[in-house]
Amino acid sequence: AQSVTQLGSHVSVSEGALVLLRCNYSSSVPPYLFWYVQYPNQGLQLLLKYTSAATLVKGINGFEAEFKKSETSFHLTKPSAHMSDAAEYFCAVSDKNNDMRFGAGTRLTVKP
Amino acid sequence: ETGVTQSPTHLIKTRGQQVTLRCSSQSGHNTVSWYQQALGQGPQFIFQYYREEENGRGNFPPRFSGLQFPNYSSELNVNALELDDSALYLCASSLPGTYGYTFGSGTRLTVV
């Protein structure tokens, strides 16, 4: 069975600071990995995905993530936080059948 | 624009009642999954439909059932509602051969 663990339910950064949201996965087959963002009272929006091509994946809004098989990690980063980045972020893993499982989420707060 | 439309957006039901939630996916999206997201938690996989047949199920009881129709719409039915069924229900769909989902904005179900 596949699963992801997001380290840190709440991360707080200052505007302009580095954003780092951590995700570790467990999968018995080559995983497909995703980061989604959720704003209050909305659905999930795809930020980026890893599907076995380049290990460094660039997404929307300046976010990127690096797949590290040796560490079973897929951490999300952004060099400079913006106030509009404040939201809930979910890491997810799926198999080739699109059986997708989510982590518990990390709430990002951006301080002015 | 998500391309996945869910209705209704909000719903209040009484314990013991039955509810039907609806989802309309983009043309060609023949895989649809439903997720339950309780307040402050990550989405939990309910089931997946592929070409109108159930193709996988999470840890949910049989009173959670679904249907997928040829016009790329789908339904989630929940019988004998319980207070713990109060949550945001998310529909997600994908094109054949793609990985990752497009999510709708969800239906907020409150059971009283």
Kindly indicate the confidence band of residue B79, based on its pLDDT and cuts at 50, 70 and 90: very high
The DSSP symbol for B80 reads: S
pLDDT digits 0-9 by tens, B64-73:
999 999 988 9
Kindly indicate the confidence band of residue A3, based on its pLDDT and cuts at 50, 70 and 90: very high
With a cut of 80, say whether residue B2 has pLDDT above it.
Answer: no
Q: Which of A76, A61, A107, A83 is nearest to A15 (CA)?
A: A83
B81 CA to chain A: closest CA distance, Å?
22
Q: How many residues does chain B have?
A: 112
Query: Is the model more confident about B1 or about B107?
Result: B107
Q: Which of B80, B35, B50 is nearest to A100 (CA)?
A: B35
Chain A partners of B99 at a C-beta cutoff of 8 Å? 32, 49, 51, 94, 96, 98
Phi, psi (5° rounding) for residue B64?
Answer: -95, 115
- Given B35, B90, B94, which is nearest A98 (Cβ)? B94
pLDDT digits 0-9 by tens, A31-66:
899 999 999 888 899 999 998 778 999 999 999 999
Which of these ranges, A6-10, B10-14, B98-102, has the smallest mean pLDDT?
A: B98-102
Kindly indicate the confidence band of residue B98, based on its pLDDT and cuts at 50, 70 and 90: confident
Hey, is the C-beta of A100 within 8 angstroms of any chain B C-beta? yes
Cβ contact A44–B92 (<8 Å): yes
Average pLDDT of B53-67? 95
Q: What is the pLDDT of residue A63?
A: 97
Average pLDDT of A23-37? 92
Q: What is the pLDDT of residue B1?
A: 43
A44 CA to chain B: closest CA distance, Å?
6
Question: Mutating which of A3, A4, A100 best tests the B interface, going by the most B Cβ atoms within 10 A?
Answer: A100
Averaged confidence pLDDT in chain A: 94
Q: What is the pLDDT of residue A106?
A: 98
Cβ contact A105–B41 (<8 Å): yes
Cβ contact B56–A97 (<8 Å): yes
**Which residues 24-53 of B are in CB contact (within 8 Å) with A?**
31, 33, 35, 41-45, 48
Q: What is the pLDDT of residue B100?
A: 87
Hey, is the C-beta of A36 within 8 angstroms of any chain B C-beta? yes
Kindly indicate the confidence band of residue B60, based on its pLDDT and cuts at 50, 70 and 90: very high
Tokens of A76: 């999300």
Using H for helix, E for strand and C for coil, what is the string for chain A? CCEEEEECCEEEEECCCCEEEEEEEECCCCCEEEEEEECCCCCEEEEEEECCCCCEEECHHHCEEEEEHHHCEEEEEECCCCHHHCEEEEEEEECCCCCEEECCCEEEEEEC
- Given A34, A43, A102, which is nearest B105 (Cβ)? A43
The DSSP symbol for B51 reads: T
d(CA B36, CA B91): 9
B15 CA to chain A: closest CA distance, Å?
23
